[in-house]
Amino acid sequence: MRNHHQFYINGQWVEPAGNARLDVINPATEAVAGSIAMGGAADVERAVAAARAAFPSFSLTTREERLDLLARIGAAYKARFKDMAEAICEEMGAPFKALASTGQVGSGLAHFNMAATALKDFTFETARGSTLIVREPIGVCGLITPWNWPANQMACKIAPALAAGCTMVLKPSELAPFSAVILAEILHAAGVPAGVFNLVNGDGPGVGAPLSSHPDVDMMSFTGSTRAGKLVMQAAADTVKKVALELGGKSANILLDDADFAKMVKVGVLTLLTNSGQNCNAPSRMLVPENRLDEVEAIAAATLARVVVGDPLADGTTMGPLANAAQFRRVQELIATGIAEGAKVVAGGPGRPEGIERGFYTRPTIFSRVTPEMTISREEIFGPVLSILTYKDEDDAIRIANDTVYGLSGYVSSADLGRARAVARRLRTGNVHLNGAQLDLAGPFGGYKQSGLGREWGAFGIEEFLEVKAIIGYGE
């Protein structure tokens, strides 16, 4: 049992102000895996005060000092790699070998390394005539991270904030908090100065709201649902602080008529199923030419048949459970809605996979004959559910792809790279993958429309944690 009933504040583990506790559930077994203390406004106050006190000195550290700190964090992270993977497997169900110990934990380390790479050549000062343009740390930052990619989402905020010279208070998801405790131990072992990083566990109303509204917090960086992101913005409004948001998505995967369908349909299905479909940038809408629909259905169904759903600790498992009970209920409800609204079930359907009676496992499901007006085509499902839609021509595909309140990611496949590039330029989304290209951690990650504000990763992530100052007459 993992029981963590203290918070990390001002360089040490301290007792919370209250006595509230929350059981953490293993989604593979539905058994209690441990518990955490649940913080409140008094804990937030203490953590923010520590971050505020640490800011004047840490903000003046040199580039070289921060690079050395990031290097020490990377070394300490590597030493706890297996611990992090075991925690993530247990808290949110990622298959240990196929995902938790590779993509999940590996992405966290990659963000610390990428922040260091970006920091080496980052330009903090630029002269324009007699004016010096200075980019300096914004101050105390509140960080709120989700349960679907715990190490990744914590690292892609903490690493650039440290690189920029900011101090911070982290509220991880209360549904997947174990990895955050280990990360706090990593940062402590690496010698992060007291008060620079602080951890308070809790839920949105108890910790997220007082953190977002706190007058001594200069910036909020939030990753999660669009609904919750709006609440962060509202709470932050009275103090007019900067808010960076990475929110939901309903990304289109356009297969143009000259694409390699045998390859790219398979890639699209498997990309969607990564992390049990719990990815904000998942290619959840596959757009295909009307005359290729039967072929696409057959390839998609054959691909799905090779997916192994089961125990995250088993060697052959490629897809684990959904991360929590609420997400399981939501996905089941939306699968039922898709059926009720007339979509064709190509594979999968309601309920758990055959032979599984316990755990938040769901059958990976492919719907076809989906129309743009259907609920499963418009709402973010955040699960292993693919909607296949048809288009008449290229313009129609682009229109359907852009007909959404979201704009986080997009995917385009074509034998003609120039054609794929042209379509990508017309998509209203923060990033576009051409012909199955993987994510680039040096590039910006973030969305248009209700998918968020601002950008993360690499140099773009560092920029988010900086203010811009003009010192006029500096060169006279």
What does the block give as tokens for 29?
């077994």
Catalytic pick among 90, 91, 246, 380: 246
What does the block give as tokens for 117?
């790479």
Whether 246 sits among the annotated catalytic residues: the reply is yes
Chain-centroid distance, C-alpha 180 = 14
Q: Taking the CB of residue 80, how many other CB atoms lie within 10 A of it?
A: 17
C-alpha to C-alpha distance for 296 and 363, rounded to whole angstroms: 20
Sequence-separated (6 or more) residues with CB below 8 Å from residue 411: 251, 252, 253, 254, 268, 271, 283, 432, 433, 436
Residue 94 contacts residue 320 (beta carbons within 8 Å): yes
Q: Which strands, in side-by-side order, build the sheet including 7-9?
A: 12-14, 7-9, 197-199, 167-171, 140-144, 219-223, 242-246, 452-453
The C-alpha angle 407, 408, 414, rounded to 5 degrees, equals 90
Of residues 451, 407, 444, 401, the one with CA closest to residue 429: 407
CA dihedral (370, 374, 379, 382) positive or negative: negative
What does the block give as tokens for 119?
């920091």
Residue 397 contacts residue 391 (beta carbons within 8 Å): yes
Q: How many residues does the chain have?
A: 476
Of residues 214, 309, 270, the one with CA closest to residue 411: 270
Q: How would you label 318-342 residue by residue, b for 16+ Cβ within 10 Å and e otherwise?
A: bbbbbbbeebbebbbebbeebbeee
C-alpha to C-alpha distance for 190 and 182, rounded to whole angstroms: 12
Of residues 268, 45, 85, the one with CA closest to residue 169: 45
C-alpha to C-alpha distance for 323 and 310, rounded to whole angstroms: 13
Active site residues: 246
